[in-house]
Structure 1
């Protein structure tokens, strides 16, 4: 089964609950493999473009985007970790790098003495504005110029369904909620 994660003709295997494994059909296997390849290639493509043009990893670019969209360009660190789907420790490391670049600063949270805010600085906003056109071109060329409006709508629906299924409300075992 190293060659195929699951597929037609695979032997039945017991799951942890004692139920037989529901192997992927050939069509599901093809869709899964296509998703994996596209996801990895797109992530690498966007990261390389941003690193080359702005010296910024894609994950850090997205932190700047979310801060730029927040009221007063500030978010609680725990909320930002959840939005980015990363651990608080990883977020703290990223914010430290962005602080060193002068693009983000930390501030005390006025509503929670234990909380901290990440605040996008004017310099960080300017860096985001400079990086955004190249990033949008890369996204448009890699994804949206290849899709018709119906495919965009289908992609949106599928990705929302998958994301909602993986982020159940109140689940505390997700890394960014610990």
Structure 2
């Protein structure tokens, strides 16, 4: 007997189906983004998060919260994108210990070109594959799981 025998067949099917779909979808979207625009899915996440801000800029901790990433992952990603000319780091006027991450003109041009292609791929591979009812169910499921995580997350020091 294994620990996974504690799951019913229905639970196993749902859980492993979700994991497989999530991994395959991420891999597909990453490959398509690389092919269409030379951006990775991580690049796209950072650029789109910043491009949705009025000034194309966020404090690093704000970007981390928006993306739900670990601090080290974001720090490394930002460094790589700065070296490619897509982002720049600016000092924070309100707090001299902090800094802002800002889109460069090149970063803005790249995300403006990539976004419509990415959205078309998301529509083709994800949104068009499910019914409106399934989409509503997925949204409700996602919200319930995120709420459960928030309720059960240990408090940070």
What TM-score results when the alignment is normalised by the length of structure 1? 0.80
Give the deviation of 1:167 after TM superposition.
3.4
Q: Over residues 141-173 of structure 1, what are the superposed CA-to-partner deviations in whole Å (9 max), with x where a residue is unaligned?
A: 111101111111111111122122223477328
Answering whether residue 94 of structure 2 is matched by residue 111 of structure 1, we say yes
Matched residue count: 156
Higher helix share: 2
Unaligned runs of 5+ in 1: 8-22, 174-178
1:152 corresponds, among 128, 135, 152, to 135
For 1:61-100, list aligned pairs within 5 A. 61-100=44-83
> d(CA) in 1 for partners of 2:140 and 2:95?
36
> d(CA) in 1 for partners of 2:27 and 2:136?
24
- Residue 171 of structure 1 is matched in structure 2 by 155
Larger-Rg structure = 1
What TM-score results when the alignment is normalised by the length of structure 2? 0.90
